[in-house]
Chain A
Amino acid sequence: MFTLNINGKPNNVDEEGDMPLLWVLRDILKYTGTKYGCGKGLCGACTVHIDGLATRSCVLPISVLGQNKITTIEGLSDEGDHPVQQAWKSLNVPQCGYCQPGQMMSAAALLAENASPNDEQIEQAMSGNICRCGTYPRIKQAIHLATELSSEIKGS
C-alpha cells in the first residue's frame, strides 16, 4: 500500500511498486488529464510536478515516491486560472490539445524557477515535450504571455 500526496490530498493505492505514476493517476485514481504518449520518457505528454519539478510520470515507479508532493494538471490551479492556463486559453494554443497538459506542466515548472525565461531557455525547458500538431510557436508565445500575466498578478 502506498500513500500518494496528489494535488494536496492523500490517496491510498494498493498496487505494485513498479507501476508508473502515470497509470496510477489515470487508471486507478482517474486523473485522466495526465496523458500517455510514449511510455518511455520521450514525449512529455505525462508530465506532472514532483515537488514542483517537471517529471515524466510514465517512467516514475510509485515506489520511489514518499511524501513528495505530486501536482497534476487538475491541481495546477483551482479555477483553471494559473497564468500558464490563462495564456494558453487566450492565445488559442491547443490544436488537438492532447499534449497540452504536459506542455503546461512543463511551462509552469519553468516559470516557477525562472520568472522571465528567454527563447533559448524556453526551448531548453520545453524540448522534452512533443506536439505532433505543431503548436510550438504558440506555446513559446504563451509562455512569454504567462510571464507578463504572473508579473501583473504579483504587481497587483
Chain B
Amino acid sequence: MQTINNVSRRKFLKALGISSSALVLSVNLPGLSLLPKVFAAEENPEKFIPNVYVEVNSNNIVSIIVHRSEMGQGIRTSIPMIVADELEADWQQIKVVQGLGDKKYGSQNTDGSRSIRNFYKPLREAGASARIMLEQAAAQLWKVPVGECKAIDGKIIHQKSQKSVGFGELVAIASTLPVPEPKDIVLKNKADFKFIGKSNVKLVDGQDIATGKAIYGFDVELENMVYVVIARPPVLASKVKSFDDSQAIKIKGVIKVIQLEDIKDPVGFKPLGGIAVIATNTWAAIKGREALKIEWDVSHHSSYNSSEYKAMLKESCDSPKKILRDKGDTTAALANASSILKAEYYVPELVHAPMEPPAATAHYHDGILEAWACTQTPQSAQGTVAKAVGLAPEKVFINVTLLGGGFGRKSKPDFVAEAAIISKQLALPVKVLWTREDEIQNGYYHAVSYHKLEAGFDQNSQVTSWLHKTALPPIGSTFNAKAKVINFEGSLGMIDMPYDIANIKCTAGKADAHTRIGWMRSVTNINQAFAVCSFADEIAHARKENPKQSLLTLLGSDRHINVNKEKAKYGNYGEKLKEYPIDTARLKQALNKVADMAEFTPVKENGNGMGIAVHRSFTSYVGCVVEVSKNPQGHVKIEKIWMSADCGTIVNPERVISQMEGAAVFGLSLTLFGEITAKDGVIEQSNFDSYRLVRMNEVPPIEVEILPSHEPPGGVGEPGVPPIAPAICNAIFAATGNRYRKLPLAQYNII
C-alpha cells in the first residue's frame, strides 16, 4: 500500500528554492534527492515538482500530476477526476501536469490496462488527505472545531457562520499540518461523487486537439535540432557489412550519415543498429536514406518464412514442452469420450500501427540527457537511455508527450535510446522519426500462434474434457534468446478458460522467434480468446444448442475459479484472486446483457447471422454480439456490433465506452485484415496499403453498455478487443455455415 507523505515541509521547499505557497502531497515514497528539469514549454517552474500528485497553489490553482501516459484512453482526464472529487476541488481550478519519468511515482508503465486498477485508491487518498488538511487549516484559521468545516467546490465552508475561504488562502497553514494517518483518511461516500462515475467533464486535451496545438512525440521542436531517419537492418540482428553514402550526402539538407552500433543478443529494448541519416528536415533525411547503398551481413533470422513457420507451429503443438494447466485426466477422458470435436485455429503475426509512429527528441548536454518522447514507459525509457549513453538514471530526464496511439509499441523505448545515442555522438539536439515503413517492418510484433483444441463429450452431449495445445514464440525471447516456450502468456485467456469441465489440459510447444516479439493491445488474449470462444461456438453447434445457452451451460454454476489448484500458475494480471476472482457470475451477466441488447438469435428472420462471445481479461468482463448479412455472391457484411462491459468500478463512463468502441474497431481490423508475414526474414508489409486497417465505411454501428458494478476497478483499454474476432467468425458461421478458423478473413474473399 502506498502511503502519503507531506513533502511540502517548509524546510524542504526552501531547500529547493521554492516558496511555501504550495501544499504538496505525494503518494508513494518521496525520494527528495533531485529536482528534474521542468517541461520546457511551461513557464512557471515552481509547479513542476515531480514527486507529487497534488499541488494546491496560493493562486487557487490545483495542479494534479498525471504520471501515466495519455494515448487515447483518457487518463489525463480520469486521474484528475479522481483526485478532484476527493479533494472537493472545482473542476475550473484544476491544472493537469504531466509527470516526468521517475520511480518516485510508483509504476508508470502505461500498459496492461492498469492505470485506474492500480491507482484508484492511492489517488483518492491523495485527494482526500489534501481535503482533510485544508479543512483542518480552515478550522485553525477560524478557531472552530474541524468537524464544522467542510470542503465544497474549491472552498472550505463553515456552515454555522456561513464563512467560506478558498483553498488557495489556506495553503500556508495547511503546509504546516501533519499528513493524516492512513487510518484517519476518510474517503467520500460513493453517493457524493461529483466526477467519479459521471461523464460530466470534457477531455482535458480536447481544445488543444481540436486546434492542432496538442504536442505529440513527432511534434517536439528544439532549437538547432536535427532530424534523423535510420535505415535499420531488414532482417533482425543483421549487421552492416558496408555502405555507400556518396549519393545521400549530396542531397540538399542532408548533414551527415553515421553508422550505428550493431545490435547484440538479447535485443530487449536496444536500438536495432543500422545507418542514420542526419538532416535539416525529415524529408531530406528520408530522401537521404533512399539514396544509401547498404550491404547487410544477414543474420540466421533470414531463415524465417511465414508459411513454413506456420507448418512448424502446427507440428509443435503436438510436442508440448510445458503443461500450463492440468485438471483431472484429460487423456483418459478423451479416450473414453462418446464423441470428440477437434478444431485448429491460427492468428498471424500482427503489428501495432499507432497513427503516430515512434519518435523521440533527445538533447545530451552538460552531463545530462533530456528526452521528449511518446513513451508508455518513461521509467524504462530512463533506464534504457541511461545505459545507452553511460549516464546515471538520475541524469536522464524523460518528458512524456501525448502519444498518437500506443497499443504496446511505445512501451518499448528502443526509439528513445536511438535519439539519445545520436544526440550524444553529435552533441546536438536530435529528433529521430520512424516512418510508417519503419514501424511496420521493424516492430515488436504480436506473436503468430497456432492452436489445436479438442473436446470430448459424453452420451448426453456434456463436455467432459478440454484439450488446448498451442505454439507461439514467447515474448521472453526478446529478452532471452534461449526462451522458446511461452510462460505468462498462458494466463492471458488460455489457462483461465472458465468453462466447468472435469478434465482440462493446456499445453505449449516450442517456437524460435525471428522477430522481436512484443505485447500488443490485449496481448495473447487476442488469439487465445479467438480459439477458445470460436471453439465454444463449435461445441454449441456440434450439440445443436443455441450458442448462448450452450455458453451458459459451459460456464456452469456461479463460482470463483482457482486454476492454481489445477497445476497452473495463474498471473491474474498482477492482482490477488481474492480481490479479483475469475467470477463466472460476472461472465454470465455480461453474456446475458449483450444477448438482451442484441436480441440475440443465431439466425434472424431476414437470414442475418449472429455470433456471440464473452471473455474475461485484465480482470474485466466483456460480452460481444456481432450481426452479419450475406449476399447471393457469398459475401458477408458486418451489420452491427454490441458490447457489454463489466469493468468493476469505473471512473469515466464516457471514456470506458470510447475504449470499447475503439476496441471493436481494433478487433475488426485484425479480424479482417491483420497479417504480418516474413520472407527470408524480411517483413513483407510496409504501409497501410499492405497492412490494412479498417476505414469508416467498413465499421458498423457499435452499441456499448456498461454493467454497473461495485467491484474494484478493472482494466478498460484492452478487454474489449478479445471477444470481437470470435464473435465475428461465429456470426459468419451462423449466416453462412462456413467456419473460418484462420485469420485474417481477407484471405477468403468473403468481405
Contact = CB atoms under 8 A, between A and B. Distances in A.
A39 B283 CA distance: 10
B377 to A, nearest CB: 16
A49 B219 CA distance: 20
B661 A137 contact: yes
Nearest to B440: A38
A123 B697 CA distance: 5
Interface in A128-148: 128-140
A85 B214 CA distance: 14
Interface string B55-75: 000000000000000111110
Size range of the interface on B?
A: 35 or more
A42 B661 contact: no
A26 B72 CA distance: 23
Given A27-B282, A39-B435, A96 B403 contact: yes
Interface stretch (B351-359, B549-557, B570-578): B351-359
Nearest to B663: A134
Contacts of B73: 95
Interface string B190-232: 0000000000001101110111111110110100000100000
Interface stretch (B129-137, B171-179, B265-273, B687-695): B687-695
B666 interface: yes
A89 B207 contact: yes
Size range of the interface on A?
A: 35 or more
A45 B357 CA distance: 12
A42 B356 contact: no
Interface in A25-45: 26-28, 30-40, 42-43, 45
A96 B355 CA distance: 9
A130 B673 CA distance: 14
Contacts of A100: 209-210
Given A35-B355, A43-B355, A134-B699, A92 B282 contact: no
Contacts of B402: 96-98
Given A33-B213, A132-B405, A99 B696 contact: no
Contacts of B473: none
A36 B227 CA distance: 14
Interface string B400-418: 0011111100000000000
A19 B227 CA distance: 15
A2 to B, nearest CB: 14
B283 A19 contact: yes
Given A39-B435, A73-B212, A134-B666, A92 B203 contact: yes
A61 B695 CA distance: 26
Contacts of A20: 283
Contacts of B436: 37-40, 43
B206 A89 contact: yes
Interface in B694-710: 695-697, 699, 701-702
Interface in B63-113: 70-74
B619 to A, nearest CB: 22
B665 interface: yes
A74 B281 CA distance: 21
Interface string B664-675: 111000000000
B535 to A, nearest CB: 27
B658 interface: yes
A103 B73 CA distance: 19
B355 A37 contact: yes
Interface in A53-99: 72-74, 76, 80, 85, 88-89, 92, 94-99
**Chain B interface, DSSP helix/strand/loop, else mixed:** loop
Nearest to A122: B696
B654 interface: yes
B696 A126 contact: yes
Given A95-B73, A101-B212, A134 B665 contact: yes
A32 B219 contact: yes
B529 interface: no
B203 A23 contact: no
A94 B510 CA distance: 41
B210 A85 contact: yes
Nearest to A86: B210
Nearest to B659: A95
Of B227, B655, B662, chain A has the most CB atoms within 10 Å of the CB of B662
A29 B8 CA distance: 43
A72 B213 CA distance: 12
Of A27, A76, A124, A129, chain B has the most CB atoms within 10 Å of the CB of A27
B658 A135 contact: yes
B286 interface: yes
B282 A99 contact: no
A16 interface: yes
Given A89-B210, A137-B702, A95 B72 contact: yes
B424 to A, nearest CB: 23
Contacts of B203: 89, 92, 94
Contact of B688 (A16, A43, A124): A43
B252 interface: yes
Given A96-B71, A97-B209, A133 B662 contact: yes
A126 B689 CA distance: 17
A105 to B, nearest CB: 9
Interface of A: 15-16, 19-20, 23, 26-28, 30-40, 42-43, 45, 72-74, 76, 80, 85, 88-89, 92, 94-101, 104, 122-124, 126-140
Given A19-B281, A23-B281, A123-B697, 10 more contacts: A23-B282, A27-B282, A32-B215, A37-B436, A80-B211, A89-B206, A95-B405, A95-B658, A96-B405, A97-B209
Can you list the 10 inter-chain pairs with the closest CB atoms, starting with the nearest?
A: A33-B212, A134-B665, A98-B404, A95-B72, A73-B212, A96-B72, A97-B209, A134-B662, A27-B281, A23-B283
Interface of B: 70-74, 202-203, 205-207, 209-216, 218-219, 221, 227, 252-253, 280-283, 286, 353-357, 402-407, 433, 435-436, 654-655, 658-659, 661-666, 687-689, 693, 695-697, 699, 701-702
7 contacts: A92-B206, A92-B654, A95-B72, A97-B404, A127-B695, A133-B665, A136-B695
